[in-house]
Homo-oligomer: A and B are copies of this chain.
Amino acid sequence: MKVVIIGGVAAGPKAASKIIRMVPDAHVTIIEKGSFLSYAGCGLPYYVSGEIKEQRELMETSAGVIRDTAFFRNVKDLEVRSGTEALEIDRAARRVRIKDLATRQESTLEYDKLVLATGATPVIPPIPGVDKGNVFTLHGVHDAEGIKSVLAERTAKDVVVIGGGLIGVEATEALVTHGCRVTIVEMMPQILGMLDWEMARLVENYMESKGVRVLTDTRAMALEDRGGGGKVTHVKTDKGEVPANMVILAIGVRPNVALARQAGLEIGEKTRAIRVNDHLQTSDPDIYAAGDCVESIDRITGEACFVPLGSTANKQGRVVAVNICGGDEAFPGIVGSSICKVFDYCAGRTGLTERGAESAGYEVISAMVPGSDRAHYMSESKPLLMKMVADRKTGRLLGVQITGPGEGAKRIDVAATAITAGMTIDDVAGLDLSYAPPYASAMDNLITAANVVRNKRDGFMVGITAEELQRKLQANEDFFLLDARTPEEYAEVRLPKSTLVPLGALRRRLAEIPRDRDVICYCAISLRGYEASRVLAGAGFRNVKVLDGGLAMWPFEKEIG
Q: Give A contacts to B, CB under 8 Å.
A: 10, 20-22, 24-25, 40, 42-43, 46, 51-52, 57-58, 60, 62-63, 65, 71, 74-77, 166, 170, 299, 309-315, 318, 327, 329, 331-341, 346, 348, 350, 371-372, 375-379, 407, 409-410, 412-414, 416-418, 420-423, 426-427, 429-440, 442-444, 447, 451, 458, 460, 485-486, 489, 503-505, 507, 523-525, 528, 530-531, 534-535, 537-539
Contact = CB atoms under 8 A, between A and B. Distances in A.
A24 B544 CA distance: 15
Contacts of A338: 434-436
Given A10-B442, A315-B443, A433-B416, A504 B74 contact: yes
Given A337-B433, A337-B434, A460 B22 contact: yes
Given A24-B534, A531-B21, A534-B24, A62 B413 contact: no
B434 A24 contact: no
Nearest to A539: B24
A43 B337 contact: no
B431 A375 contact: no
Contacts of A337: 432-435
Query: Which of A333, A413, A447 has most chain B Cβ within 10 Å?
Result: A413
Q: Tell me the number of copies of this protein.
A: 2
B435 A311 contact: yes
Q: Which are the 9 A-B pairs with shortest beta-carbon distances?
A: A24-B538, A421-B421, A311-B435, A74-B504, A410-B410, A339-B434, A409-B439, A62-B376, A332-B430
Contacts of A71: 504
A437 B51 CA distance: 11
B58 A377 contact: yes
A278 B531 CA distance: 27
Given A318-B451, A379-B51, A341 B439 contact: yes
A388 to B, nearest CB: 15
A390 B265 CA distance: 39
A273 to B, nearest CB: 17
Nearest to A426: B329
B442 A313 contact: yes
A375 to B, nearest CB: 6
B21 A528 contact: no
A27 to B, nearest CB: 13
Contact of A432 (B51, B312, B431, B437): B312
B410 A409 contact: yes
Contact of A75 (B170, B310, B443, B503): B503
Nearest to A346: B439
A334 to B, nearest CB: 4
Given A331-B430, A436-B340, A63 B528 contact: yes
